[in-house]
A and B are shown apart, each in its own frame.
Chain A
Amino acid sequence: MYGKGILKGLSVTWKRFWDTYLDDISWMIRGKKRYHSEEGIKHRSSKNTRGIFTVQYPEERLILPEEARYVPFLVYDEGAEGKKEVRCTSCGICAKVCPPQCIWIVRSNDPNTGRPIPEPTEFYIDADICMNCGFCAEYCPFDAIIMDHDFEIASYSRNVYNMEKLLKPASYYKSIRPENYARNEAERKAKEAAKAAKAAGAAPAS
């Protein structure tokens, strides 16, 4: 019969139209919130999603996976009296590995001896060159540069980030990437413990 295929196709769109309401009703009966709730967003990103699929940004937003990456930032540990202890040692690996070469680092020199000290004086990332590839964070040996989750960074001018703009506390790092943070901390503790053990082992020998 001519037109059977069209009707078949229409049945698909018809079903998908009703799916939204059926899903809404079933959530209502179960007394759960399909919209504006974490559970609802997770459901809409799962294999079971049917019907309306929209995540209504900015009222609700997608749950970003831990590995999600945007423009990088620099981590500092909060020291005593709010002192920012920048993790970066200006070793320059990120600047070397950066594919579009958008990282600029000025290494600090000791004012007395003139020898380099492990701290950057200036650190720039040109966000209008950055390709968000994540190499800098991947190869940083000190977990000092991390890919951010913050994507709401549109502005009315070009985006060149300096140290001030780039620095974010370790607590922020922990909040966006809990698993990576825990892994890094464990690694660091293990390293310190190994160091201490080595020092303890070396001391009696000498």
Chain B
Amino acid sequence: MMTAPASTTTIDLTQRFPGVVTPDARPGYSGFIVEKDKLVEVATAIRDELGFDLLTAVTGVDYLPENKMEVVYHAYKTTGGPGLVFRVQVPRVDPVEVPSLVHVYPSADLQEREAWDLLGIKFTGHPDLRRILMWEGYEGHPLRKDWQEPFYEEEVKPFKSRWPDGKFFMAEDRNPFKDNLKFPQNFDPEKWIPENDEMLYQSLKRYTVKSEDGMTTDRIVVNMGPQHPSTHGVFRAALTLDGETIVGLKPVVGYLHRNHDKIGERNTFLQNMPFTDRLDYFNSMSNNFGYAITVEKLMKIPVAERAEYIRVIMAELSRIQNHMVFVGMLLNDLGAMYTPALYAFEERELILDIFEAVSGSRMMCNYFRFGGVVRDVPDDVLQKIKDLVFDRLPGKTDEFERLLSENEVLVSRLKGVKVVDAETAVKYGVTGPVLRAAGVPYDLRRADPYSVYDRFDWDVAVRHNGDMYDNYLIRIDEIRQSLRILQQAVKTIPQGPINSQKPQYQVRVPAGESYGRIESPKGELAFYVVSNGKPNPWRYHVRPASFVNITCLEQMCIGTKIADFVALLGMLDIVMGELDR
């Protein structure tokens, strides 16, 4: 369990900056409130003097009733231990301005852009503050509490029109445009000049160098995606090339922005559970896990003992199938079409069978509940899990290695091609296998333990070169470590109830904030939930691993050849459902 920041730090920071930093006294909240003007100075001290080198989450909250906006920062140490929460509060008058932390913590880059896009918080000093999930020209900042979408029905769910007089209607019938659309008054579409990515190309221009040795060379701008077979979904990257070398890159995301945060604030706490399935759709069990422990922390309820084991088993099975598919897809990206991917999908199907048997669905499990899980793992399914983790998967992992790890073509393709070094990775907030392959043994299951991971004997997989080959190998290592955890977990799983709470569809969540994080197969997956004591969260924010990891993409790719781009992107193991939400 995560603990509040140690008391020594509290004294340190408030004494170090008297009058600038004050402890957050609101019930249910922790951390510090920092004066807006001194934010950069305080953040620098937090990074350099206190050693919180990893800024994981930056997000905004719109406190409409108090007429203020807040930006919340969560900083951690890569050596492990509890985190530090600091926040800035500004009056809610346009323009809402907060100094940017990009120059202190580069990992804030995309997250600040997101806060600008969705909440309209202007980060002064940000070098490239464009909209990120929506497009330039879109009307309004959707996550502001006074903004309503065209299909808006009611502030919170359940909607009153569904029962007891639930005459069926389609949302389209109630909209003047017969669609989820709205336009400013007297808007004339024919006079609209589309923006056409002007700003995007403008931001790429800063890399353009005109001439060398008196010869003018042109830079080429290449757009990859959003429809591209190797971008793992609807990801788009705009690249500037000098010959074949990448000299500039901007990720363009938002093509799968499904308004997770906005819908999440309308849902009740429980209703969010199936929505989290659709974040990282390879690992719905891990997503459930992260959300469940976040809300449990807020509710201050224990988790049933057996359920803890079931949770770990499911999360680790999920990690195995994710990494197997990763390897298969990576080989696809490198041109070794299909064979490894087909082998990986075979094992994945067997794992999905287990998910289907316990939860009912192959991919969208919706299996976790606050305090436990929804139903017990029957004995025959537990036997099936044992069959897999003892008899089948270890052998298949070895077979995978025999198939690939020594293949000379693959080795020469991967070895020595830099992905990212440790220092850059930490700076840009990269977490997960990519960070560990660079030599930083930062695994939340060890660094900030949650659930019952501390009861098992396993090692954090680390590799040291940070090249592509290590990034490939670390996935195999992690499969092996997951199998170790699983083998112990299925042996020692206790009998007992599977939920500490009674089944209920309306949970009582006290007011306060909670930041829960888990080690998802892609990196740190965290949820930031603010409750005001009502049945619906006031703020519901997801800090996905994929989204923060691509902050580093530009750094990773500059100087490499365009042919490596697809492989480098593959190494980050992004999944668009999580990236765009």
**Interface on A for B, CB 8 Å cutoff?**
2-6, 8-9, 11-13, 16, 45-47, 49, 53, 64-65, 67-69, 90, 92-93, 95-99, 101, 103-107, 116, 122, 124, 126, 131-135, 138-139, 147, 160, 162
B267 beta carbon closer than 8 Å to chain A: yes
Pairwise interchain contact A6-B408, C-beta atoms closer than 8 A? yes
* Contact partners of B350 in chain A: CB under 8 A: 45, 47, 49
Pairwise interchain contact B356-A105, C-beta atoms closer than 8 A? no
Shortest Cβ distance from residue A174 to the other chain B in the assembled complex, whole angstroms: 18
* Contact partners of B505 in chain A: CB under 8 A: 93, 96-97, 135, 139
Starting from the known contacts A99-B271, A105-B166, 9 additional A-B residue pairs (CB-CB under 8 Å) come to A6-B409, A47-B384, A65-B360, A69-B361, A92-B163, A99-B273, A99-B274, A104-B167, A131-B364
B48 beta carbon closer than 8 Å to chain A: no
Complex Cα spacing A104 to B165, Å: 8
Instruction: Find the B residue at minimum CB distance from A91.
Output: B163
Known contacts A67-B358, A92-B164, A107-B164; is A9 also within 8 Å of B274 by CB?
A: no
Pairwise interchain contact A65-B402, C-beta atoms closer than 8 A? no
Of the candidates A8, A53, A95, the one whose C-beta lies within 8 Å of that of B158 is: A95
B339 beta carbon closer than 8 Å to chain A: yes
* Contact partners of B128 in chain A: CB under 8 A: none
Shortest Cβ distance from residue A99 to the other chain B in the assembled complex, whole angstroms: 4
Can you name 17 A-B pairs with beta carbons within 8 Å? A4-B406, A12-B403, A45-B350, A45-B353, A47-B384, A49-B350, A92-B162, A92-B164, A95-B162, A95-B163, A95-B166, A96-B158, A96-B162, A98-B162, A104-B168, A107-B165, A131-B364
Instruction: Find the A residue at minimum CB distance from B389.
Output: A47
Q: Provide the B373-415 mask, 1 if CB < 8 A to any CB of A, else 0.
A: 0110000000010011001100000010011111111110000
* Contact partners of A47 in chain B: CB under 8 A: 350, 384, 387-388, 391-392
Pairwise interchain contact B271-A12, C-beta atoms closer than 8 A? no
Pairwise interchain contact A97-B271, C-beta atoms closer than 8 A? yes
B456 beta carbon closer than 8 Å to chain A: no
Counting chain A CB atoms within 10 Å of each CB, the highest count among B163, B168, B270, B366 belongs to B163
* Contact partners of B164 in chain A: CB under 8 A: 90, 92, 105-107, 116
**Interface on B for A, CB 8 Å cutoff?**
157-159, 161-168, 170, 267, 270-275, 277-278, 339, 343, 346, 349-350, 353, 356-361, 364, 366, 374-375, 384, 387-388, 391-392, 399, 402-411, 503, 505
Known contacts A5-B406, A6-B408, A67-B357; is A105 also within 8 Å of B162 by CB?
A: yes
Of the candidates B159, B274, B391, B409, the one whose C-beta lies within 8 Å of that of A131 is: B274
Complex Cα spacing A93 to B163, Å: 9
Pairwise interchain contact B339-A13, C-beta atoms closer than 8 A? yes
- Mostly, the B contact residues are helix
Pairwise interchain contact B360-A67, C-beta atoms closer than 8 A? yes
Complex Cα spacing A16 to B346, Å: 12
Known contacts A3-B408, A135-B274; is A124 also within 8 Å of B358 by CB?
A: no
Instruction: Find the B residue at minimum CB distance from A55.
Output: B349
Of the candidates A64, A96, A106, the one whose C-beta lies within 8 Å of that of B167 is: A106
- Mostly, the A contact residues are mixed
Instruction: Find the B residue at minimum CB distance from A107.
Output: B164
Pairwise interchain contact A65-B158, C-beta atoms closer than 8 A? no
Pairwise interchain contact A104-B407, C-beta atoms closer than 8 A? no
* Contact partners of A4 in chain B: CB under 8 A: 406, 408
* Contact partners of A105 in chain B: CB under 8 A: 162-164, 166
Shortest Cβ distance from residue B277 to the other chain A in the assembled complex, whole angstroms: 8
Pairwise interchain contact A2-B408, C-beta atoms closer than 8 A? yes
* Contact partners of A124 in chain B: CB under 8 A: 166, 168
Shortest Cβ distance from residue A45 to the other chain B in the assembled complex, whole angstroms: 6
Complex Cα spacing A204 to B153, Å: 55
* Contact partners of A138 in chain B: CB under 8 A: 374, 503
Pairwise interchain contact A9-B361, C-beta atoms closer than 8 A? no
Instruction: Find the B residue at minimum CB distance from A109.
Output: B164
Known contacts A47-B387, A96-B158; is A65 also within 8 Å of B357 by CB?
A: yes
Known contacts A8-B402, A9-B404, A96-B505; is A107 also within 8 Å of B163 by CB?
A: yes
Complex Cα spacing A69 to B350, Å: 18
Shortest Cβ distance from residue B348 to the other chain A in the assembled complex, whole angstroms: 11
Complex Cα spacing A206 to B464, Å: 82
Shortest Cβ distance from residue B48 to the other chain A in the assembled complex, whole angstroms: 45
Instruction: Find the A residue at minimum CB distance from B395.
Output: A47
Complex Cα spacing A124 to B165, Å: 12
Of the candidates B157, B158, B357, B399, the one whose C-beta lies within 8 Å of that of A12 is: B399
* Contact partners of A116 in chain B: CB under 8 A: 164
Counting chain A CB atoms within 10 Å of each CB, the highest count among B357, B384, B403, B404 belongs to B403
* Contact partners of A9 in chain B: CB under 8 A: 402-404, 406-407
* Contact partners of B409 in chain A: CB under 8 A: 6
Complex Cα spacing A2 to B412, Å: 11
Pairwise interchain contact A68-B361, C-beta atoms closer than 8 A? yes
Shortest Cβ distance from residue A128 to the other chain B in the assembled complex, whole angstroms: 9
Counting chain B CB atoms within 10 Å of each CB, the highest count among A92, A104, A116 belongs to A104
Complex Cα spacing A68 to B402, Å: 36
Q: Which 5 A-B pairs have the closest CB atoms?
A: A5-B406, A104-B166, A133-B274, A92-B163, A107-B164
Complex Cα spacing A12 to B168, Å: 57
Instruction: Find the A residue at minimum CB distance from B153.
Output: A101
* Contact partners of A107 in chain B: CB under 8 A: 163-165
Instruction: Find the B residue at minimum CB distance from A92.
Output: B163
Complex Cα spacing A158 to B272, Å: 26
Shortest Cβ distance from residue B369 to the other chain A in the assembled complex, whole angstroms: 9
Complex Cα spacing A3 to B162, Å: 66
* Contact partners of A98 in chain B: CB under 8 A: 158, 162, 271
Of the candidates A96, A139, A147, A162, the one whose C-beta lies within 8 Å of that of B163 is: A96
Instruction: Find the A residue at minimum CB distance from B159.
Output: A101
* Contact partners of B406 in chain A: CB under 8 A: 4-5, 8-9
Shortest Cβ distance from residue B262 to the other chain A in the assembled complex, whole angstroms: 13
Shortest Cβ distance from residue A63 to the other chain B in the assembled complex, whole angstroms: 10
Complex Cα spacing A116 to B163, Å: 12
Of the candidates B272, B361, B403, the one whose C-beta lies within 8 Å of that of A132 is: B361
Instruction: Find the A residue at minimum CB distance from B277.
Output: A133
* Contact partners of A97 in chain B: CB under 8 A: 158, 270-271, 505
Known contacts A6-B408, A147-B360; is A99 also within 8 Å of B166 by CB?
A: no
Complex Cα spacing A91 to B375, Å: 24
Of the candidates A3, A13, A67, the one whose C-beta lies within 8 Å of that of B359 is: A67
Of the candidates B158, B359, B392, B411, the one whose C-beta lies within 8 Å of that of A101 is: B158
Pairwise interchain contact B165-A106, C-beta atoms closer than 8 A? yes
Shortest Cβ distance from residue B179 to the other chain A in the assembled complex, whole angstroms: 15
Shortest Cβ distance from residue A156 to the other chain B in the assembled complex, whole angstroms: 18
Complex Cα spacing A105 to B164, Å: 6
Of the candidates B267, B361, B411, B503, the one whose C-beta lies within 8 Å of that of A5 is: B411
Shortest Cβ distance from residue A119 to the other chain B in the assembled complex, whole angstroms: 12
